[in-house]
Amino acid sequence: MKILCISGWSLGEALWEPFIRQLNPEWEVSCFAPSEQDDPVDDLGVLLLMGGFDAVVAHSWGGALALKLYSGLQLEEGPPLLLCNSFTCFARKADLAEGVEPRVIRRMIRGLDADPQKLLGDFQKQAGLETVDRALMADPVERDRLVQGLNAMLEDDLRKHWSLQKDRQAVAVLASDNDLIVPKALTEACFEGETLQWIKGGGHLLPLSNPQGCAEALLSLL
């Protein structure tokens, strides 16, 4: 069994270590951190096409990237996809009042210019960590890569991609009821009409805070 884990914005591969420990040790697990790549869309696209994965588990913005590529590459028979703390559209739109205010995302971009370590530390605390863990951050921390991700979250609207892709292969959505980055109302709006798997507590980092729940959700999907 080959599993691909895709990290969310600003996070490295260490996010997945507790989750991987919950899986069969004979499984082959690969990790992909978009914020460590100059061209995450192309690099992830090649990986999905050539990797021969049996399932994909993606966190936050990593889930949005995966969904975008599943649809764009027309992976009608793509591997089952588990989305954790993810979304189809992050920024507020005229028809998505639950989205994050664009000014908040633009303020984060300015924060990367002023003090990137402070911004990422504040992000981790809002995500649910009591203390900042630099080992979880993308390595290296590069401003342009992080801005690229924030701009994608500011602009991308993948709701139509989701409506098409959810009927093409097995997809599950795992969310936390106290996620401050992707709040419950936004999750429900993004995946309207779908059966969501809710985790009580856990914040925005479910692969870290509840690896067993994530592993169980994956096993149910396979």
Query: Residue 83's pLDDT band (boundaries 50, 70, 90)?
Result: very high
Location of structure tokens 């205010």: 101
Instruction: Check whether 195 has a pLDDT greater than 90.
Output: no
Query: Which of residues 180 and 165 earns the better pLDDT score?
Result: 180
Which residues partner with 12 through β-bridges?
none
Signed CA dihedral, 16, 17, 23, 28: sign only:
positive
Query: Residue 192's pLDDT band (boundaries 50, 70, 90)?
Result: confident
133-152: pLDDT as tens digits: 999 999 999 999 999 999 99
Which residues partner with 29 through β-bridges?
3
Identify each DSSP E strand in the chain by its residue range: 2-6, 28-32, 55-59, 81-84, 171-176, 197-199
Q: Which CATH superfamily is domain 2-221 in?
A: Alpha/Beta hydrolase fold, catalytic domain (3.40.50.1820)
Residues ≥6 apart with Cβ < 8 Å to 205: 15, 59, 85, 127, 128, 129
User: Rounded to whole angstroms, how far apart are CA atoms 39 and 37?
Assistant: 5
**Cβ-contact 69, 45 below 8 angstroms:** yes
Q: What was the pLDDT predicted at 76?
A: 61
Instruction: Check whether 215 has a pLDDT greater than 70.
Output: yes
Any idea where the domains of the chain sit in the sequence? 2-221
DSSP for 30-75 reads: EEE-GGG-SSHHHHHHHHHHHS--SEEEEETHHHHHHHHHHHHTT-
19-78: pLDDT as tens digits: 999 999 999 999 999 999 999 999 999 999 899 999 999 999 999 999 998 877 766 667
Instruction: Check whether 193 has a pLDDT greater than 80.
Output: no
Three-state DSSP state, 36:
helix
Percent of the chain scoring above 70 in pLDDT: 97
Which residues partner with 93 through β-bridges?
96
Average pLDDT of the segment spanning 184-210: 93
User: Rounded to whole angstroms, how far apart are CA atoms 1 and 10?
Assistant: 28
Provide the phi-psi class of 65: left if phi over 0, else alpha when psi is between -120 and 50, else beta.
alpha
Q: What was the pLDDT predicted at 160?
A: 87
Instruction: Check whether 99 has a pLDDT greater than 90.
Output: yes
User: Rounded to whole angstroms, how far apart are CA atoms 69 and 217?
Assistant: 22
